[in-house]
Structure 1
Amino acid sequence: MRSRIYDAILKKRSVNEADPLWLSQVQKNVPGLYSAHNGRHFHALAIIPFFASKSTLMEFPISWTERLTAQLGAEAEQLLTAMEDEAVTSVRLNPAKGADLTFFEKVPWHPNGYYLEERPVFTLDPMFHAGAYYVQEASSMFLREALVQSANLTAPLTVLDLCAAPGGKSTLLLSELSADSLLLANEIVPARVPALRHNLTKWGFPNYMISNHHPEDLSALEVFFDVIVVDAPCSGEGLFRKDSRAIGEWSPEHAFQCAVRQQNIMESAIPLLKPGGVLIYSTCTFNPDENEKNVAQWLEKYPLELIPLKVPESWGIKSGRYGYHFYPHRLKGEGFFLASLRNTETGHIRHKAKQINGLTKLNKSLVPTVQKWISKANDLVLFRKGNDDLVGIPENLMEQTSIIANALKKRSVGIKLGALKGGKLVPSHELSQSLVLSDDVAKMELPLEDALLFLKKEEFKVPPGSSTGWNLITYKGLGLGWVKNLQNRVNNYLPNEFRIKMDLPK
């Protein structure tokens, strides 16, 4: 088996993209073959074959392999062999932004999922920054199939993604829900919220809110959600070959603690589900304590029933009594488990909509100033937040938005459109990537080299004939951010936290 470090070196990948363990092993075992170059790349000094069994470099915990053998029998050896291979790279296209990857191999269970032949440097693709696709592990994309078979996605639904960061499941949900549905993307850990917000901003859909609460804090929204997705924090066994840190963090005690935490999360989540509502539970582990045993307990304790899913045998997914297992030796994807459950209770609770605290309706005289920035197809109710900030809430989602906004303290409401300064709109970065943005705004379409310079916040060539004032920077028609074109200079309004920090290729 040719080692991945050999491949990485031939492709001149940067050191920070390689596994330090592999680098140290190569330097130790093959002295003189590789040397540092500019402190950033390792280059082959001689192109000679170098083969190594990855098993000599990756050591799995003995207690884990023993449990896996007891769990899977003869199949455990096949799984362990597969865990020695490279993790596959896959992406899911944004259906609203029109990227084309039809020349790549498709993920069987998702119409917009594709496998890549190798992992590129996504940072150097403006389409990635524009939200044209999301880099998502293929097995996780099965959420769509579970949704399609479990819920009526054409109906107006109120959906909760309870453990949402960094946003893979939330962007998938938004792609499948109707425009009359509202997603609440909740993240428990405050430090993970910025990544979630950034990914949802790039995705561009207007029908979501973000909150930062522990599950028990959502109790005011009891019997409120039609669909709840719980992609639970877990022991990460399914990611061992993708992230070597997961191996170092694993222990039987940690796995046990994860199972307890999952039980606590679900104890808070289940009461939020409407009668007849759907709850989809998933993990990225093989551990039955976190998967089947948990589901079995919830079926006993709560008014829930399993929703059977039709899964073609050719997909390689293993159907179990309590859910669906994804094993790397059976399919192209990482370890994953999913169960779809339905609330069998009857009855309902009526939640009353109220005026949203902290927002005041925009003065009618200022509405035309803002509306020229917004597509006519998008009916937004416009609000001031504080003195200057403007937000827009889809009119058809006002009731559900207000109920959630008044039930939670740490939440964002609506699309941030910008700020009013001197009676004019200073557009927000969020608006630059939103699907509500008008097609009539002035644009600068840039080629690859200049688009990357814009994203790095360095000087780029302004296209001849560009309008003065605000311009949307686009690459292949998709928005990246704003500039203000003045007579003697161009001001770049890309937020500093989103700029490219790595060196650009020469």
Structure 2
Amino acid sequence: MQFPQPFIQELKAQLGDEYADFEAALQQSPPVSIRYNSAKFPDFPTEDTVKWCSEARYLAARPVFTLDPLFHAGAYYVQEASSMLIGEALAQTVDLSEPLRVLDLCAAPGGKTTLLASKLSSDSLLLANEVIRSRVMILKENVQKWGFSNVHVSNHDPEDLGKLEGFFDVILVDAPCSGEGLFRKDPAAVDEWSMENVQICAGRQKRILSAAMPLLSAGGVLIYCTCTYNDAENQDSSAFVVDTHQFEEVKLQWPADWGIVAKKMGYQCYPHKVRGEGFFLAVFRKTAQLDSFYYNMEKGGRPRSFKPLHKKQLNEISRWLQEPDEFSFYEKPNGEVIALLENQKNDLIVLDNLLFAKGLGLEMGSFKGTDFIPSHALALSTALSAQLPRLELSEGEALQFLKKENLLFDAPKGWLLVTHRGLGLGWVKGLGNRINNYLPKDWRIRMEIPE
């Protein structure tokens, strides 16, 4: 792999005599790592742990994840190891036992969102926002696979969120960048790299940070990260935050054997030092004592996009959840039923009134007459009742289901949760002599399954 000369000069300036080791590391195959969902898969293997993330493991080789039903069930997420440092940074800077309002501002495809979800308390609110509309669907899909009811999705430019000034306790800005840290994972990125693009990315990052900083409450934490090495996108963007005189950098502590390099501001992962890709991380705390967020609930305390579910339907809807009393139920204009956690209801009403492109709450399904049709998101939710009828499938049968093929089973009439190794994959409906597969078409496996 040949690198552009300006990139080589930048890294030689950063690394000196270590540059040869760095370049040699980029010629090697990248490590493969996954992070388990402890809410769904608590008994994960113990070997080859990622040092800074107890739920994460390295794999000896890259399997075909598409052909693993556990991947579709949200048992784990395929995530680059260095980027998991965000979880440790969060643990060092906030009290994770407290309820927090958290914004993942540039969230797609959702790896860092699911990491945050697993670290936060169950009564914290996590809003995963993505500005690019075409990327929202994969974000939503990965959030639904993870199955946490306190994670919500929005599709806004950062500048559209100004009405939420002072609302959040933590904001993650995983900024769009030149992608230098992913060169060995994506060799095509080398050909797309240019100094001009680096400067474009640096300007875009400052615009995003300018929109993000006012959204934090006093004392709130801003986590800024990129998957690149250059100072224009890392050091200069970090200095831009501090130069507002509203933030101070938070210094973090890493064990020496993690191999993380402290920079003038923030921290850098290099692939010849860390078993992972290039990744930069800096953390800042808001020191400015500004007015806290205020919203007049008496004046605007009703949802704008949904109405309370009819009382006659509450009994039916409640039986699908393990702890229905923890939720309030609403119906959207299209008939879709959603469940909002009671301890977040007021905050979600605020978001509903101030945002126009969002998906709040747990998608439950919809009523067709008196019959309730459960959503796919409900099948993947950790809030799902353990008492619902289930149909456990072998790996081969599960893949057949995930290709949206019909299964031949003698099954009782009614809705059945399809499971593999106890984890929900979707719904089928028993009709006596056959069952109908209700896997959404967009979720089906399209590749051929080997014999």
TM range (shorter): over 0.9
Counterpart selection for 1:181 from 112, 119, 124:
124
Q: 1:134 to 1:79 in 2, by over 3 A?
A: same
Deviates more, 1:298-307 or 1:251-260: 298-307
Q: Does 1:110 align with 2:110?
A: no
Deviation at 1:387? Answer: 5.4
1:53-202 map, 5 Å: 58-98=1-41, 100-202=43-145
Kept in 1: contact 2:412–2:432 (CA 8 A): no
Q: How far apart are the structure 2 equivalents of 1:100 and 1:239?
A: 31
Deviation at 1:461? Answer: 4.5
Match of 1:374 in 2: 321
Cα RMSD (Å): 1.2
Kept in 2: contact 1:104–1:116 (CA 8 A): no
Match of 1:351 in 2: 295
Match of 1:25 in 2: none
Match of 1:410 in 2: 357
Match of 1:245 in 2: 188
Q: How far apart are the structure 1 equivalents of 2:252 and 2:38?
A: 24
Kept in 2: contact 1:161–1:184 (CA 8 A): yes
The number of residue pairs the alignment matches comes to 447
Deviates more, 1:119-128 or 1:338-347: 338-347
Q: Does 1:472 align with 2:440?
A: no
Higher RCO (CA < 8 A, seq sep 6+): 2
Q: Which runs of 5 or more structure 2 residues have no equivalent in the other structure?
A: none
Question: Structure 2: which amino acid aligns with 1:374?
Answer: L
Kept in 1: contact 2:402–2:439 (CA 8 A): yes
Counterpart selection for 1:491 from 424, 436, 442:
436
Kept in 1: contact 2:407–2:435 (CA 8 A): no
Deviation at 1:88? Answer: 0.4
Kept in 1: contact 2:406–2:437 (CA 8 A): no
Q: How far apart are the structure 2 equivalents of 1:247 and 1:142?
A: 25
Indicate the structure (1 or 2) with the bigger Cα radius of gyration: 1
Deviation at 1:378? Answer: 5.6
Kept in 1: contact 2:34–2:56 (CA 8 A): yes
Q: How far apart are the structure 2 equivalents of 1:391 and 1:422?
A: 17
Q: 1:308 to 1:387 in 2, by over 3 A?
A: closer
Q: How far apart are the structure 1 equivalents of 2:101 and 2:295?
A: 13
Match of 2:450 in 1: 505
Question: Structure 1: which amino acid aligns with 2:123?
Answer: D
Kept in 2: contact 1:161–1:170 (CA 8 A): yes
Match of 1:207 in 2: 150
Q: Which runs of 5 or more structure 1 residues have no equivalent in the other structure?
A: 1-57
Q: Does 1:455 align with 2:399?
A: no
Deviates more, 1:297-306 or 1:111-120: 297-306
Q: 1:145 to 1:71 in 2, by over 3 A?
A: same
Identity %: 47
Q: How far apart are the structure 1 equivalents of 2:395 and 2:60?
A: 22
Kept in 2: contact 1:86–1:241 (CA 8 A): yes
Question: Structure 2: which amino acid aligns with 1:457?
Answer: K
Deviation at 1:99? Answer: 5.1
Kept in 1: contact 2:318–2:324 (CA 8 A): no
Q: Does 1:297 align with 2:297?
A: no
Partner SS state of residue 184, structure 1: strand
Q: How far apart are the structure 2 equivalents of 1:387 and 1:265?
A: 33
Match of 1:4 in 2: none
Counterpart selection for 1:440 from 382, 387, 390:
387
Deviation at 1:117? Answer: 0.5
1:256-405 map, 5 Å: 256-347=199-290, 348-353=292-297, 354-376=301-323, 379-386=326-333, 388-405=335-352
Question: Structure 1: which amino acid aligns with 2:345?
Answer: M
Deviation at 1:212? Answer: 0.6
